[in-house]
């Protein structure tokens, strides 16, 4: 009996060591072969001029955004842009006076012309945001702009933001130039969760695979496409070719769907981190962040239970095994398990450091990434549970029950 127990213990120890080795191997692959997703140097170039500055129409879908508009809308109306700029704020059924406040802010500033319009309730098959975007693009077409800037109501732009976006699109030959706005990190929960949100997004969609690194550099042979919905500069003719937004009208993750539609039609897409484009929306409590992430997490997995199961296993292997192996191996005297787990944990934390520096956060948060990943795992499972309870993706008082129809990335 004692011999059998000893063999069983040895087998278990060996199995744990193998799993730890697999986790370390996964991290070495992520470190070196996943487009250097962990680096934060994919940014717009510092400047740039073009021969003739094209006209731009800015479309801002807004639903109950009175709390954030004073910190965001004036930045759009005050853009230091040499060409023509028209701003369209589409009040998507707000009940907090969003439209009236927008008009008042524009009167105070007396800067760029602002049009406030309402599209009415979206018909079946449309998400509210994309229905508002459709209405805004329809109004913009009367001005025949060369570019459309699609930006959320909580995004504040530096005065030269539009100039830099257009310069990058012109000099790089891009149909879409998008920046991942710097999200707010003031509360404790924001510090723990928000930098990881961008880190995980970059892991799914390595920026270098989307547009080739810095604006203007080409990368061939990849169909990876993504954008950040808070700041998307889109060529108007590319939008027409890709049938934006009609082709993605039921997409909950509309930014990724937009980029895929444009790239699938032969367009070129660039995505990078922003230096001076910031989200002013607060997420002070965990439940605020939970709601923001879980509303679209299962849609990201295309509502596929097998993909969900694989995601749970993958997150566990990559993020939860390393600290468990390091601590458990040390506690049980298994040196191999402890070393393998510790090495994987060290690589993981090291890849997180650049994102923490980008967000100006203390580096002691890096070893806590497994805890954050566990929270994301729970949010993803909760997103699936809500879906199968028939609640779908809920946001701003609306629930979108039908699956996200986004073409495969391939």
Question: pLDDT 10s per residue in the chain (410 long)?
Answer: 455 545 466 777 788 899 999 999 999 999 999 999 999 999 997 767 788 999 999 999 999 999 999 999 999 999 999 999 999 999 999 999 999 999 999 999 877 889 999 998 888 888 889 999 999 999 999 999 999 999 999 999 999 999 999 999 999 999 999 999 999 999 999 999 999 999 999 999 999 999 854 444 444 446 899 999 899 999 999 999 999 999 999 888 899 999 999 999 999 999 999 999 999 999 999 999 999 999 889 988 988 999 999 999 999 999 999 999 999 999 998 999 999 999 999 999 999 999 999 999 999 999 999 999 999 999 999 999 988 887 655 556 666 554 443 344 33
pTM given for the model? 0.91
Task: For tokens 């907090």, name the residue.
Answer: 96
- Residue 335 has a pLDDT of 94
Q: Return the H-helix or E-strand segment holding 141.
A: helix 128-141
Q: Which two tokens stand for residue 89?
A: 């704020």
Nearest by Cα to 21 from 330, 351, 344: 344
Residue 5 β-bridge partners = none
Query: How far is it, in rounded angstroms, from Cα 314 to Cα 295?
Result: 21
- Residue 14 has a pLDDT of 84
Residue 272 β-bridge partners = 179
Query: How far is it, in rounded angstroms, from Cα 157 to Cα 143?
Result: 23
CA distances 266 to 168, 177, 231, Å, are: 18, 15, 21
Nearest by Cα to 169 from 220, 90, 237, 264: 237
- Residue 218 has a pLDDT of 46
CA distances 95 to 62, 63, 248, 397, Å, are: 11, 8, 26, 11
- Residue 250 has a pLDDT of 86
Bond preceding residue 245 cis, omega within 30 of 0:
yes
By the 8 A CB rule, do 234 and 150 touch?
A: yes
């Amino acid at each position: 009996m004692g011999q059998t127990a000893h063999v069983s213990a040895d087998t278990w120890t060996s199995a744990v060591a193998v799993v730890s080795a697999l986790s370390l191997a996964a991290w070495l692959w992520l470190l070196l072969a996943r487009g250097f997703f962990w680096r934060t140097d994919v940014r717009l170039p510092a400047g740039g001029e073009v021969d003739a500055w094209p006209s731009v129409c800015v479309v801002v879908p807004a639903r109950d955004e009175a709390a954030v508009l004073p910190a965001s809308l004036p930045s759009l109306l005050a853009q230091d842009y040499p060409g023509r700029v028209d701003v369209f704020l589409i009040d998507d059924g707000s009940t907090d006076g969003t439209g009236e406040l927008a008009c008042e802010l524009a009167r105070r500033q007396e800067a760029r012309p602002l049009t406030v319009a309402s599209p009415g309730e979206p018909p079946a098959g449309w998400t509210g945001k994309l229905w508002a975007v459709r209405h805004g693009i329809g109004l913009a077409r009367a001005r025949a702009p060369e570019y459309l800037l699609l930006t959320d109501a909580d995004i504040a732009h530096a005065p030269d933001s539009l100039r830099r976006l257009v310069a990058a699109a012109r000099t790089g030959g891009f149909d879409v130039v998008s920046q991942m706005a710097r999200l707010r990190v003031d509360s404790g929960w924001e510090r723990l969760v928000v930098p990881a949100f961008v880190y995980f997004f970059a892991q799914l969609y390595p920026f270098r695979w989307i547009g080739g690194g810095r604006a203007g550099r080409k990368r061939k042979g990849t169909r990876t496409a993504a954008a950040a919905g808070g700041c998307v500069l889109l060529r108007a003719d590319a939008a027409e070719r890709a049938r934006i937004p009609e082709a993605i009208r039921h997409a909950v993750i509309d930014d990724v769907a937009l980029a895929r539609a444009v790239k699938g039609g032969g367009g070129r897409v660039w995505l990078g981190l922003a230096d001076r484009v910031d989200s002013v929306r607060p997420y002070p409590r965990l439940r605020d962040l939970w709601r923001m992430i879980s509303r679209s997490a299962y849609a990201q997995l295309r509502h596929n239970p097998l993909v969900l199961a694989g995601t749970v296993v993958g997150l566990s292997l990559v993020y939860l095994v390393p600290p468990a192996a390091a601590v458990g191996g040390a506690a049980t005297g298994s040196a191999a398990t402890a070393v393998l787990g510790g090495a994987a944990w060290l690589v993981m934390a090291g890849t997180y450091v650049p994102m923490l520096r980008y967000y100006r956060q203390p580096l002691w948060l890096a070893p806590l990434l497994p805890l954050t990943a566990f929270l994301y795992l729970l949010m993803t499972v909760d997103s699936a549970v809500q879906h199968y309870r028939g609640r779908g993706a809920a946001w701003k008082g609306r629930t979108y029950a039908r699956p996200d129809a986004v073409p495969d990335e391939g």
